[in-house]
Structure 1
Amino acid sequence: MKTDELIEALARTPETATPDRLYRRLALALIVGLFLGLVLLRVFMGFRPDIGVAAPLVAMKAGFSAFIATFAGGLALRLAKPISGATGTIRRLATPLGLVILSAIAIGLIALMATEPGYRFAAFAAGGFPWCVILIPVCGLPTALLLVWAMREAAPTRLALAGAAIGALSGGVGAMVYALFCSVDSVAFVTIWYVAGIGFAAAIGAMVGGRLLRW
């Protein structure tokens, strides 16, 4: 039996996680992961002091992160199941997420160019190292671990890609959590560095996905 035939057989087998069961596990992973991420933020970092006044800006940053997480979630949901060697299918699934990310970066660069030259560095990097690139994956770590638990039963076959999708999804959730701490609200900072943090989480997921998702 060829590899693609084996994968198709696995996709049809009754032992493979049913869609309803998979959806429930993924939903549970996202809800509990978000809650645990908020707990980590509250214990180790705290919420931004002016969160009440800045609530609309925080909501926009969290909504932007959730928007990316939604596209990453659709990709992760498909990659959770066995997929044969159809590269075109993967490309069609990943294209919407890629377009959203590129559009966000383009908006950030346009906003940066529209900023007065003397304020560009502050708008771009908040005057220092953009720690959100590291802290976003950290805030999304509980979600990432729970998503691995949720997806292992579904028998994914593209492990590195599935790991990257988990990383992007958990990174989006982590960015939602981080938005409650982050005091930088410039469009350029959020669209560029939040995306970089989510991308870093996706890269980590791709590197460890083969090991953690193996079944």
Structure 2
Amino acid sequence: MLAKDIEPVKKNTLARLLTGSLLLALTGAAVLMAMVFGVRPDLSSAIATPIFWEKLAFPLSLSVGAAIATSRLSRPAASVGVAWVILILPVACVWMAGIAVVGAAAPADRAVAIFGQSWRSCPFNILLLSIPGFIAIFYAVAHLAPTRLRLAGAASGLLAGTVATVAYCFHCPEMSPAFWSIWYLLGMAIVAALGALLGPRLLRW
């Protein structure tokens, strides 16, 4: 009876759902960033510096790993696989860069390199900007077939957090790898933890 009148799933359903949710996540985060925080006034000069693109590369590379993990975990009994490597490498690189920056700075400047001007608000700003992506990505994954719901929720939350951080880079004035390695990562980790917490409830099918 369960197999009666079963129709084949349309080709590329997973890719279409996740791609659509990512576009909504990025658009929503960008619009929310512009409305709530505003684009940094010196963006035109900032984008001419290598350090800005290094900052942007951090959440972008994490989003690749998170997208692969979310895609894999949207299938029954799947594992994260190679996505672990893609997630660990950017974090290791930015931590090494942060340690190098703090080590090379004068003792009086080390706290500034780590805390910047916005460490108190940065993780929560990322959390706010992740709301559109969180909704869109969870909607997409819930319409697929995840079975490891807590891990799938964590990957989906991390993906929403990385996309939000990409948008946040166009507002945030902080240009120290030591800052990104702690406060950007904390913001993304909060969204991932929220996803892990809500995954069993929101992704159940």
Paired AA for residue 46 in structure 2: A
What TM-score do the two structures reach when normalised by structure 2? 0.87
Q: Is the 8 A contact 2:122 2:183 kept in 1?
A: yes
Identity %, equivalent residues: 32
Structure 1: state its 5+ residue gaps: 1-13
In the alignment, which residue of structure 2 is the partner of 1:108? 98
In the alignment, which residue of structure 1 is the partner of 2:147? 157
In 2 relative to 1, CA 58–22 (structure 1 residues): closer, same or farther, beyond 3 Å?
same
Deviation (angstroms), 1:58: 3.8
Paired AA for residue 195 in structure 2: G
In 2 relative to 1, CA 131–211 (structure 1 residues): closer, same or farther, beyond 3 Å?
same
Structure 2 counterparts to residues 35-54 of structure 1, below 5 A: 35-54=27-46
In the alignment, which residue of structure 2 is the partner of 1:195? 185
What TM-score do the two structures reach when normalised by structure 1? 0.83
In the alignment, which residue of structure 2 is the partner of 1:68? 62
Query: In the aligned structure 2, how far is the partner of 1:202 from the partner of 1:16?
Result: 33
Deviation (angstroms), 1:70: 0.5
Query: In the aligned structure 1, how far is the partner of 2:72 from the partner of 2:11?
Result: 11
Deviation (angstroms), 1:106: 3.0
Paired AA for residue 193 in structure 1: W
Deviation (angstroms), 1:128: 5.5
In the alignment, which residue of structure 2 is the partner of 1:6? none
Query: In the aligned structure 1, how far is the partner of 2:83 from the partner of 2:52?
Result: 29
Deviation (angstroms), 1:93: 4.3
Query: In the aligned structure 2, how far is the partner of 1:138 from the partner of 1:76?
Result: 21
- How big is each residue's C-alpha offset from its partner over 1:119-160, in whole Å with a ceiling of 9 and x where there is no partner? 011110114634221111211221111011111121100111
Query: In the aligned structure 1, how far is the partner of 2:45 from the partner of 2:142?
Result: 42
The aligned length equals: 198
Query: In the aligned structure 2, how far is the partner of 1:19 from the partner of 1:200?
Result: 34
What RMSD, in angstroms, separates the aligned Cα atoms of the two structures?
2.1
Q: Is the 8 A contact 1:137 1:170 kept in 2?
A: no
In 2 relative to 1, CA 58–92 (structure 1 residues): closer, same or farther, beyond 3 Å?
closer
> 129-138 or 168-177: which moved more?
129-138
In 2 relative to 1, CA 141–108 (structure 1 residues): closer, same or farther, beyond 3 Å?
same
85, 97, 108: which one pairs with 1:118? 108
Query: In the aligned structure 1, how far is the partner of 2:185 from the partner of 2:8?
Result: 33
In 2 relative to 1, CA 48–158 (structure 1 residues): closer, same or farther, beyond 3 Å?
same
